[in-house]
Amino acid sequence: MIEKVTARLGLRTDPVIFAVSAALAILFVVSAIVFTDAVDRAFGAVSDWILTNLGWLYILGVTTFLVFLIGIALSRYGHVRLGPQDSEPEYGDFIWFCMLFAAGIGSILMFWAVAEPISHYADPPRGDVAPESVEAARQAMGFTLYHFGLHTWTIFCLPALAFAYFVYRKGLPFRVSSVLHPFIGDGIHGPVGRTVDIVAVLGTLFGVAVTIGLGTMQINSGLNELFGIPETRLTQVVLIGVVTCIAVASVASGLDIGIKWLSTLNIVLAVTLLVYVFVMGSPVFLARGIIETTGVYLEALVPLSFWNDTFGDTGWQGSWTVFYWAWTITWSPFVGIFIARVSKGRTIREFVVGVLFIPTAFSIVWFSVFGLSAFDIEMHGGGGLVQAVVVEQDLPGALFAFLEHYPLTVFLSAASIVIVVIFFTTSSDSASLVVDMLCSGTARNPTRQRVFWGVAEGVVAATVLTASGVGGLDALQQTIIVFGLPFFVIAFVMMAALLRSLRRETVAGSARVRPLSVRRRRRPGGEGPP
């Protein structure tokens, strides 16, 4: 029945994955609107249980993923190419970097550039240093880079590596279930595989919804600063609608037109803003600070990788670190498949170094410039950022409060709004492309399928942000912590699957020859990689 309907509509997708995923997304939207209080209580109770009982597992797990990736890159498997051994990368290094960064955490860097360093500066996470002191500033930068450095990109890199390997080297479909092939073989086309893919579709929708929600709150704050547009739920729904339309237009134009050029343009704009803040602030102070902050991060990296707030037990880690990891994990299938899609032909070693260390180096520079500049304003300038961000709890408006201390404030604020819009437009249209691939198993699909998922992302984001009785950032946090757990478990399976398949390939003596052939049945949308 489902097959006939999808065929009649001209859809090229796995009918079960598509229909069930769409139905569950619609069910959530309707339930959240009709049964707001009950949905809030359910998500609140589950997220609280996860934070209380499993926070330590998230901390240990992500660190384990990082050690695994570095180990596999340095091992004898590092030379294995993601595709036929004679293949070459499809995109140059600069374009590749722009695309993976814009689809990764570009929009989040804009949101937290000032908000997180100032938050930790005013309220040190460990509570063992005086607030608003030099020691608090150092601790703030250590935690901020812990959250946006190697660990965050580890969460993207692991699934991306697994997808690229199994799709381009083993000839399997572009689906999360493909990584289970070493364990269940052709069972990836059955109920187990489809269940995994449905969960991946839903997780991606909600992960991107959180990003769109945060971006919308920041855009709304900027428009309020510039034009007095009120920060209300109605305004945010309208903004989500506008940006969704832009994202749909971009995804309809395809990977090599809309997504590619928007990603490149936005990196250029973001770097221009970064350079402006550096030059117009305190260049010597910032140059020294970037180097010192790098040392602070490296010094704090190992201790923070295992820190669980055991003795303090303040709950701080749940609302910050565990939220970040759960959130990042939910959209890791989307970012992972997107990165895999643009990474064919690279070796495992080249891939891991590129995805882990280059974005981390950029994050160090980015947060050093904005974070240290914010500290400089508080210590030696007019101040006011702690009051705006921490006391008044205006996290979305942190960047705009910061830009008030620079020349051309109105122009900078307007430019920042444009950058945020493009950043989460590229996140949304990349996610639409990937969700469609999760449903079909291939990148060659009718445009209307990608458009459907682009609209769905906007609707889910609007629902999570506005229909919840909790509201705002709290609602986004509760939702994402719940949806992040299944993917966290799948990530451990990915490590085992990669290792098993690489060992088999090495034993078979095929690590330097063409990909191993994989028997698979011909299914709708399951023809294999492009």
- pLDDT for the residue numbered 103: 57
Q: Are 414 and 399 in contact (CB under 8 A)?
A: no
Q: Are 149 and 328 within 8 A, CB to CB?
A: no
pLDDT interval class at 521 (50, 70, 90): very low
Flag whether pLDDT at 423 surpasses 60: yes
Q: Which tokens belong to 407?
A: 């020349």
Contact 385, 114 (CB under 8 A): yes
Q: What percent of the chain has pLDDT over 90?
A: 41
CATH number of 2-507: 1.20.1740
pTM of the predicted model, to two decimals? Answer: 0.85
| Domain ranges for the chain | 2-507
Give the model confidence (pLDDT) of 292-310 as tens digits: 999 999 999 999 999 999 9
Lowest mean pLDDT among 100-114, 337-351, 356-370, 509-523: 509-523
- Tell whether the model's pLDDT for residue 478 goes beyond 50: yes
Q: Which of 127-141, 156-170, 235-249 has the weakest average pLDDT? A: 235-249
Least confident window among 118-132, 383-397, 461-475, 503-517: 503-517
Q: What is the pLDDT of residue 517?
A: 39
**Range scoring the smallest mean pLDDT among 70-79, 248-257, 363-372, 395-404:** 248-257
Closest by alpha carbon to 348, among 98, 106, 163, 102?
A: 163
- The CA distance from 317 to 113, in Å, is 19
Q: In which band, very low, low, confident or very high, does the pLDDT at 486 lie, cut at 50, 70 and 90?
A: confident
99 contacts: CB under 8 Å, gap ≥ 6: 91, 259, 260, 263, 264, 338, 342
Between 516 and 3, whose confidence is greater?
3
Q: CA–CA separation, 333 vs 447, rounded Å?
A: 21
117: pLDDT strictly greater than 70: yes
Mean pLDDT (whole number) for 59-67: 97
Establish how many alpha carbons lie within 13 A of residue 178's alpha carbon, considering only the half-sphere containing its beta carbon. 33
Dihedral angle sign, alpha carbons of residues 265, 267, 269, 272: negative
Asked if residue 427 has pLDDT above 90, the reply is no
Q: Residues 178-206: pLDDT tens digits? A: 999 999 999 998 999 999 999 888 888 87
- Provide the pLDDT for residue 88: 87
Contact (Cβ atoms closer than 8 angstroms) between residue 79 and residue 511: yes
Tell me the mean pLDDT in the region 126-137.
92
**Distance, CA of 395 to CA of 520 (rounded, Å):** 49
Contact of 394 with 219, CB cutoff 8 Å:
no
Q: Which alpha helices (H) appear in 320-347, and where do they start and end?
A: 323-330, 332-341
Mean pLDDT for 388-397 is 84
Residue 44's pLDDT is 83
Tokens 């859809």 sit on residue:
11
Q: What is the pLDDT of residue 34?
A: 82
pLDDT at 5: 52
How many percent of the chain have pLDDT more than 70? 87
The CB-side HSE value for 382 (13 A sphere, CA atoms) comes to 8
Which tokens in the block code for residue 314?
Answer: 């303040």
pLDDT at 375 over 90: yes
Average pLDDT over every residue of 272-295: 96
